[in-house]
Structure 1
């Protein structure tokens, strides 16, 4: 997985003398190599040997560096650019792979096609220029710092999102959506140790979201690349499971180390290694020439660079984020007002006391049915006449008799 540097490695007892002969403090050497000061101490004491590309950079700095003056302790100063040095605090997408020394294919302009140009970024508000000139954080407004981060990361992120989704429109949309989310949470993103990694994770999540398949415009097939080899490679990539595809793009495309790839994919290092091996087996089965990691990196870079994907301008992304925030704010206010109105109407029209319901009537048993009137018989007529005469004169009174 690692390769020893071409330059012979000095013994541990000579490494410190070589560093001191070039007037390199441990902190400055650690920043140039891109590791912590404790790692440099472990290398000088011999507890751990330097390996990978950072180890090769460390050996070259010890053997070929020219004497320099130590840095002042009261101010920060970016290291001198050198063909052997690496950035002090590189963004994760610009870190080299620790498994081998693998050059990144570049386009005619000299820039990488899968990752942004190597720059030193102390924080989002202190993004340095291409010439490694430090910028005072107090002179940058939030919009200027956001625009600098967007210009630094967006072109490479669009190409990476295209490798993940295979759709040009979705790739641009993913990057715009990620930066809109970053602008909504700008204080949090600005203080993040790796703002580029934060935006990259958001763009990857949006590009790999499974609900895109239900959108009407994504039901139509995308126009494939013109070259047959590119079509086959893209087809193999898109048939990989999303976690495998993301791991391949981060490890072989962007160039992250295996622990960094595992951390960004929210998996353990053994799980990420297993995904990577299975993905490599699938790619090599369809395209045997991709068994070489260098060839795979070059092919991924070529596949991403043939599509001329241009992201939107930073002001458009910021305006879109602000419009989205205004829309959802107004929607939340309208929903709250509707809820309040419905509550008031319910309280106004609701009854103040409880009225028990009237029980249904029951049929009475044993009552004879009502008989309709009809003609009277002779006996009934005589009885009626007698009753009428007695009522007219009244009954006879009884007089008391003496004893």
Structure 2
């Protein structure tokens, strides 16, 4: 008796596409196969490959998802084609009947509209050739830089403020960090717009500003803010704030945001082994204080709940753009003023500097043969004897004349 071969597994990208086409989450797929959410994420990223019974269950699930997606796509295509055919007039249907019920001109347009509708209803369900979009479906003009920035801000800012609150434990600092990050993004918008992951660029900038050690010297951030009202939320936030900033950031990106390990390591500018060690140490610290959160899935849900309970609002995108432009104008004017002051100082120095060279007075030189002058000091024993001898003897020479009165 031979064992039937297992169905082949599609590529990792195709696995993720089939799951998203069926509107399933990684946790739901993990529950059907009997593994954890991290395992399904590694399968879809291509880091690991299922084996044994898990491979068989996962392969059968992907086959059923592919069949379900293909059936749904066929039904939608049939419905749209029938609807387009029903709207045609009898004159338009006559050429089709004359050629055997298939008109190339009208049929091609119907198929294009059907494929476009299928792509809209079931995104990335079945690979379909990209037809040329009809003229009425083409956008009139692309988005302006301000509109693209506003769309990115509306998509990322609310969630990013809540994530930064988990990173710092301060509501005002979280809002300020996100606004600063988007202000810098607007100043460098050509670079950010061409980045493969603009949301990741802004997130990394906001995290760097929020974790800056210079905030401790600001008067407004010396005192702690009121903690959350719920006791479990307070306990979880205290545990997060007790972690080191690199561990806290790695835990938030991996278990909170949902990035995989290489993406977390790239965003934190660390190696993959170092990021894995930080993540394991952070999970161990959380599990030691809160044993209920030892499961990564439960930790993910608790982080999402803690971030959602706080009412954190970001400013309007127009306000952020105006603030970025004001800040840019301020620093530009400050740079111009500093340059003008430097030029004025240089000109004043050149004006008041001497125009000729005056050599300094050379130092004195020692004349040979002349003993150096010695300060007076106590006489030696020999000198004292000589002085006594000289005083005792009479000096040779003329006698002194003493004037006498007459």
TM-score normalised per structure 2: 0.62
Aligned residues of 1:32 and 1:79 also touching (Cα < 8 A): no
Q: What is the CA–CA distance in structure 2 between the aligned matches of 1:156 and 1:55, rounded to whole Å?
A: 35
Q: 1:337 to 1:199 in 2, by over 3 A?
A: same
Distance 2:261 2:60 in 1: 18
Deviation at 1:59, TM superposition (A): 4.7
Q: Does 1:250 align with 2:253?
A: yes
Further displaced range: 259-268 or 150-159: 259-268
Aligned to 1:66: 70
| SS of structure 1 residue aligned to 2:70 | coil
2:246 matches 1:278: no
Counterpart position of 1:327: 330
- Contact 2:69 2:125 survives alignment (8 Å): no
Q: Structure 1 residues 185 and 238 mapped into 2: Cα distance closer, same or farther (>3 Å)?
A: same
Shift of 1:245: 0.3
Question: Matched residue of 2:357: which SS?
Answer: coil
Distance 1:298 1:292 in 2: 10
Aligned counterpart in structure 2 of residue 159 of structure 1, from 159, 162, 166: 162
Aligned pairs for 1:4-403 within 5 A: 11-12=7-8, 58-59=62-63, 61-67=65-71, 68=73, 79-81=119-121, 136=139, 138-358=141-361
Cα RMSD (Å): 4.0
Change (3 A) 1:318 1:59: farther
Aligned equivalent of 2:401: none
TM-score, structure 1 normalization: 0.62
- Unmatched segments (≥5 aa) in structure 2: 21-42, 78-110, 127-136, 371-406
- Partner of 1:279: helix, strand, or coil? helix
Give a deviation string over 1:77-106, Cα, whole Å, max 9, x none. 994455xx7899xxxxxxxxxxxxxxxxxx
Question: Quick one: distance in 2 between partners of 1:33 and 1:141?
Answer: 34
Q: Deviations over 1:218-256 (max 9, x none)?
A: 101111111111111111100101111011111111111
1:22-59 deviation line (CA, Å, top 9, x unaligned): xxxx998876668xxxxxxx99xxx965999x989855
Q: Is the 8 A contact 1:174 1:204 kept in 2?
A: yes
User: Displacement, 1:287?
Assistant: 0.4
Shift of 1:269: 1.9
Distance 1:81 1:300, change over 3 A: farther
Give the drift of 1:348: 1.1
Any conservation in 2 of the 1:33–1:87 contact (CA below 8 Å)? Answer: no
Note the residue ranges of structure 1 that are not aligned, 5 or more in a row: 1-8, 17-25, 35-41, 89-133, 366-403
Alpha-carbon shift at residue 61 of structure 1 (Å):
3.4
Cα separation, partners in 2 of 1:78 and 1:216, compared to 1, 3 Å: farther
The question of whether the paired residues in 2 share the 8 Å contact of 1:33 and 1:57 is answered with: no
How many pairs does the alignment contain? Answer: 289
Residue 134 of structure 2 is matched in structure 1 by none
Provide the C-alpha distance between the structure 1 equivalents of 2:183 and 2:144, rounded to a whole number of angstroms.
Answer: 17
- Give the corresponding residue for 1:95: none
Q: 1:298 to 1:81 in 2, by over 3 A?
A: farther
Q: Is the Cα–Cα contact under 8 Å of residues 186 and 321 in structure 2 kept in the other structure?
A: yes
